[in-house]
Each structure stands twice: as C-alpha cells, then as structure tokens.
Amino acid sequence: MPALVFDCDGVLADTERYGHLPAFNQTFADVGLPVRWSEDEYAEKLLIGGGKERMASLLTPEFVAANGLPADPDGQREVLADWHRRKTAIYTTMVADGRLPGRPGVARLVEEAHDAGWALAVASTSAEPSVRAVLEHVVGAGRARDFTVLAGDIVPAKKPAPDIYLLALDRLGVAPDSAVVVEDSRNGLLAADGAGLTCLVTVNGYTEREDFAEAALVVSSLGDPDGERFTVLANRSAARPGGWITIDDVAALLKEA
C-alpha cells in the first residue's frame, strides 16, 4: 500500500498568514508582551520549526530583563508552555469558526487517494490539537479518522530534520520509495528528502521564492476542476499534470523515484 503524507500548515490550509500569525499576536497581547509580529517578521520566524521554538526566539537576555520574565531554563520552559497553550486555544477556535478554508484540491486529492487504497497521514511540527482541528475542518471528521496523525513534540528534532518523516514511515509500515510527501516549504522539503522520500511541493505566499531543487514537482496549488487552476513551477518527474493534480500524477512521482 503506498502512502500519501501531508504537512499541515500551508498545505492543508493557508494557516500561517490567517491563523498562526494572528494567534501568536493575540497571545502576546493577552500576556502583556510588547510584541506584534508583522508579516515580514513572521516570514523570518517561519524558518524556525515549531511554535514554541518561534516564541523562544524572543527570549534574549535583554527581552527577558525588560519584561520581568524568568531567566532560568525551568522558568522559561513553563512560560513558553503557558504561552503555547494559550496560542493553541486561540488558533483552534479560529479553525472551528471556519476562518481557515482548505487549500484548493486537498479534499479532492484525499478522496482520490483513499479510493485508490493509499494510506493517509499528516506529519507536522505544529501542536497536535491544532493539526487535528485543521485536518477535520478540511477533509471532514469522518475522513480524518483514516489519517495517521504525527504532530508536535513527537520527535526530538523538528523539520528540517528528517525525524518526523522517518517516524511516519515506521508508523505506516511503508518503504521510502512507496510514499509521497506534500510540503510547502524548504524546511519541509529538506525533512522529506532527508528521509529518502519523494516530495511534491505546493507553494504559498510565504514560500514561493524558496529553493525547491530537491522536489520532484513544484506547483502553485493542487488545483481543482471547478475552482482554482494551478501552475507547474518545476517538474523533475514523469508526471504530466493537466489542469490539477490527481492521484495518478502522485503515483507517477513514485514511479519516477
């Protein structure tokens, strides 16, 4: 059984700009921090894998002293855990309210993969409640139950380390040449490539200028027959997509690999 493994943020939905960024900024306001990340600043933070890790980048000695935050490692871990819980609650509420629609073609491709007998998984460095909320919102609660969900602090090293994709291979019981990963960023691509996996990249506004040299196929989105068409940005595979990405196109990536 081949496997189709999705990243979450920026792949299932455009969560970074319309979900995570406002949730981070709301959290900072709620805890009284003089921080409000702009879109450009957040684009830099996206180079850091994991929400707690992005928050931790604030904790310079100067910032800690100026804002009366704990200087010891244990105290900082507690503060970060509290901030991250608050941020996750804000974010999951946004998802539940329907404020983060799925990206074009995701639900359709998931149905095609399921009907063709592919195993389905999500592998993300985001908190598991956030990932499950997005997954259920995009593909429906029933189909979400067919997914293996790997998220959050489930592995010691986050993307671009390959750990989460190596774990996905183990949990799914498939070989690297039987799985395709759908990613949207260079960090995600490097994680997939490091695990020996074939990668299909769907770019978004934050990542469209990144280097995707290792990807088999790079597209603007997965596309839909009755909605947004898509553009092939780079193709190093045997796939020859039409107006949207189908499960046959994904299978062609595996044959090429």
Does residue 160 have a cis peptide bond before it, meaning omega lies within 30 degrees of 0?
yes
Say if strands 119-124 and 3-6 run parallel, antiparallel, or are unpaired.
parallel
Active-site residue identified among 7, 14, 184, 249: 7
Question: In what order do the strands lie in the sheet containing 198-202?
Answer: 147-151, 119-124, 3-6, 179-183, 198-202, 217-219, 232-235
Residue 224 among the catalytic residues = no
Q: Which amino acid is at 215?
A: A
The owner of tokens 């931790």 is 56
191 CB-near residues (< 8 Å, 6+ apart): 159, 160, 161, 162, 163, 164, 165, 183
Residues 247, 116: contact at Cβ < 8 Å? yes
Closest CA to 238 of 217, 218, 252: 252
Residue 7 among the catalytic residues = yes
Active-site residue identified among 9, 14, 163, 249: 9
Token reading at 34: 């003089």
The residues annotated with a catalytic role in the active site are 7, 9
